[in-house]
Amino acid sequence: MIAAEQPSAKEGWTNVIFSNLSLPTDGDFSIETALKNKEGSVVVSGTSHLTIASNASVPRILFGDLHVHSDDTVGTESSIYNFSYGRDIAGLDVLGYTANDFQITRARWDATVELIQTLNEPGRFVIFPGTEWCGNSAAGGDHNVIFLADPTKYSPEFPFDRHGNVARSFEWSEDGPDDLVPGTWPLDEVYCTYAGEAESHLLIPHVGGRRCNLAWHHPQLERLVEIGSAWGQFEWLLRDAVRRGWKLGVSANSDEHRGRCGGGVPGTAVFGTRGGLTGILAPSLDRENVAAALRARRTFATTGQRLVGLVSTPDGQSFQGDEVELVNMVPFELDYHFLGEKGFSSIEAFDASGLIWRRNFWSEAQLPATILRVTWRSKTVRSLPGGVVEWYHHPVG
């Protein structure tokens, strides 16, 4: 057992980082934490789990939230508050700022991009500037545009592209111009804006205020699809992409509007689920390597917990997101490694035809049939909000 104590801040957020601890061997470990008051009494405590595997073939595992708003647009709390919360309280490695493109002013955009560059710290915290293209579903639907290049070397093409063309869906805010200026519309125009430098950009279709429409797709720009956020969980969106033949990795983010990126709790009206997290497999924590991992689709998505899902070939040469060529249709095997706090009920694999493999841990555990499991499913209507919520139960055994 290794024990360590460290004082916390007397005012403001309580954030303690232990950076000088080391473990002598590989294995599974429990981490027990306790917050004490000045009298030495425990105020709150918790237990987490850590797995150390030095021989793992996967790169470093990072956690990010690529969909964050602030009071620059329709969110609450300032950008510095949101970014600091994500780094210091939520413990994010990577953050993507996504200002609603119709509302952000040029002055606020420039100021926040400068702030982002100030806070970006390789090895500790990577932050990307970005926007949310807010087109109606009939025009392509919501897409986040993440600018992956170093903004000090390559200025993000927003609110105008390098040719002086408008690079936002439209502009509508109390600080905007008196006359409406035609915007970048429909989604095809967004593709045209950024396709020339696809390696420096990442477009993420998602379900938000306006559902994305996967009838539109640009394989060089759209590398990930967001399947979870504070709006809900959208596995059906991934299944839709697979049925269409789109080769997309997954992400889950907060779409946080309340200043709690990377850890927002469910709301009472809208944003009724916990915000998600995107797992990123990158060799190091810096813009270049994180950007390459995102575009390579080396990701996994969680419902907000620090879960881990890894899939690789037995030789450790290929991971999720990679394309593997089969020769003469020889038998193909994949290794998987799933880690979590509470265990998993099942693991499933599907392709365009539907479910192709399933492992049911409840059945394998041979639990007594007296256990009742209640599962809340997501909306059956592919829209937001106001869809139908189903629930069902079944005996396990």
What whole-number distance in Å separates Cα of residue 349 and Cα of residue 346?
A: 10
195 and 146 share a domain?
yes
Handedness of CA 343, 346, 349, 352 (dihedral sign): negative
95 domain-assigned: yes
* pTM (whole model) above 0.75: yes
Cβ density class 170-202: b for 16+ within 10 Å, e for less = bbeeeeeeeeeeebbbbbebbbebbeebbebbb
* SS3 call for 196: helix
Given a contact cutoff of 8 angstroms between Cβ atoms, the answer to whether 250 and 209 are in contact is no
- State how far the alpha carbon of 80 is from the alpha carbons of 111, 131, 257, 343, in Å: 11, 17, 14, 36
Handedness of CA 174, 176, 181, 187 (dihedral sign): negative
44 and 146 share a domain?
no
173 and 34 share a domain?
no
383 domain-assigned: no
271 domain-assigned: yes
What residue numbers bound the domain in which 197 lies?
A: 60-312
44 and 7 share a domain?
yes
Predicted pLDDT of residue 377: 59
Coarse DSSP helix, strand, coil percentages of the chain, rounded to the nearest 5 percent: 15, 30, 55
Predicted pLDDT of residue 215: 97
What whole-number distance in Å separates Cα of residue 212 and Cα of residue 136?
A: 8
359 domain-assigned: no
Residues 243, 232, 263, 336: what is their CA dihedral angle, to the nearest 10 degrees?
-30
123 and 164 share a domain?
yes
Predicted pLDDT of residue 126: 99
379 domain-assigned: no
47 and 101 share a domain?
no
Q: CATH number, domain at 196? A: 3.20.20.140
Predicted pLDDT of residue 351: 95
Given a contact cutoff of 8 angstroms between Cβ atoms, the answer to whether 74 and 101 are in contact is no
206 and 231 share a domain?
yes
Residue count of the chain, please give it: 397
Q: Can the peptide bond before residue 159 be classed as cis, meaning omega within 30 degrees of 0?
A: yes
48 and 112 share a domain?
no
Successive 10-residue mean pLDDT values, the chain, 397 residues: 78 79 89 90 90 83 97 94 95 98 95 98 98 96 98 96 94 77 94 98 95 97 97 93 97 94 79 92 97 98 94 92 88 91 89 95 82 64 48 39
Q: Quote the number of domains for the chain.
A: 2
46 and 80 share a domain?
no
